[in-house]
Amino acid sequence: MLQQSRDRSITRIRARRGHCCYGMGLGVILLDEVYPGFPGDLRNASAYPFPIQYEIAEGVDIHGLVREADKSPCLEPVIRAARKLERLGCRAIAAECGYFAWFQREIAEAVDIPVFLSSLLQVPLAQRLIGPRRLVGVLVAEGDRLEQRHLESVGVTLGTNYVVAGAKDGGQCPEFDSLWTRDLRPDLPTADYETAEADLLRVAEAFAARHPAMGALVLECTGFQPFGRSIQRALDLPVFSWSTLMDYAYSVVAHRDFYGHV
């Protein structure tokens, strides 16, 4: 780990009301599931250059958050996890699945620190960056599980310049099923990096080919971002992922300093 000299602007310390820990970064709400993530996946803290504190939303699994029509049982566990991360001293809160967008408004209201519950928060930004004549591609895990509320909760205006595709639809990415799909994964979920990358690249390329006006791509799923650079090389488009959102979130709550000369 790179060792830095002491920040000499810190000359006196004081408690932040109700916060137990200090020097914290981003708090991440995890699903109550057991599966691994490649470096870059939000479930794997090793690739991030800032502190990450995890808290499990107990009882909230993929099936309940993504596939159940009634998501109301998920709300209280997610609020509890968010409030615990805030009390620990985290400066902002994220979550490990883009479908947490369903609760963006409720969690933002429940805590007093910024909330970045879904990579989908970047869709309105991407739309404005590329202009109305081009499309923002939104690549999600399961296309038929993305509902209007997911989009509206993160500020997307329905029916505007975006298109959606599900990477796992029709069994296109079996390596991800081996990690996340309850009835298909083995007892110890596992995946091969190169196979997962090839499958996801094929899906992304086909998505872009169907929509020649695509000017940017947003990756909803935290499991996709380990392959974000490969996708960008293949499509030659701006790519928004959980990684870009996390970098932004941390810079908002722990602004970098500048050293130089005039």
Domains and CATH numbers, the chain: 26-119+247-253 (3.40.50.1860), 121-240 (3.40.50.1860)
How would you write the chain as a 3-class SS string?
CCCCCCCCCCCCCCCCCCCCCCCCCEEEEECCCCCCCCECECCCHHHCCCCEEEEECCCCCHHHHHHCCCCHHHHHHHHHHHHHHHHHCCCEEEECCHHHHHHHHHHHHHCCCCEECCHHHHHHHHHHHHCCCCEEEEEECCHHHCCHHHHHHCCCCCCCCEEEEECCHHHCCHHHHHHHCCCCCCCCCCCCHHHHHHHHHHHHHHHHHHCCCEEEEEECCCCCHHHHHHHHHHHCCCEECHHHHHHHHHHHHCCCCCCCCC
Pick from 65, 33, 214, 70: which is nearest to 141 by CA?
A: 65
One-letter amino acid for residue 168 of the chain? K
Model pTM score: 0.91
Q: In which residue are the tokens 């309940």 written?
A: 64
Contacts of 116 (CB under 8 A, 6+ apart): 92, 93, 94, 245, 246, 249
Half-sphere exposure in the Cβ direction for 101 (13 Å, CA): 25
Cβ–Cβ contacts within 10 Å for residue 44, how many?
A: 16
Q: What is the pLDDT of residues 82-97, one digit of tens each?
A: 999 999 999 999 999 9
The pLDDT profile of the chain, 262 residues, written as one tens digit per residue, is 455 666 777 778 787 777 677 777 899 999 999 999 999 999 999 989 999 999 999 999 999 999 999 999 999 999 999 999 999 999 999 999 999 999 999 999 999 999 999 999 999 999 999 999 999 999 999 999 999 999 999 999 999 999 999 999 999 999 999 998 888 888 899 999 999 999 999 999 999 999 999 999 999 999 999 999 999 999 999 999 999 999 999 999 999 888 888 8
Q: Evaluate whether 100 touches 29 at the Cβ level (below 8 Å).
A: yes
pLDDT score recorded for residue 258? 85
User: What letter represents residue 169's amino acid?
Assistant: D
Residue whose token pair is 């800032």: 50
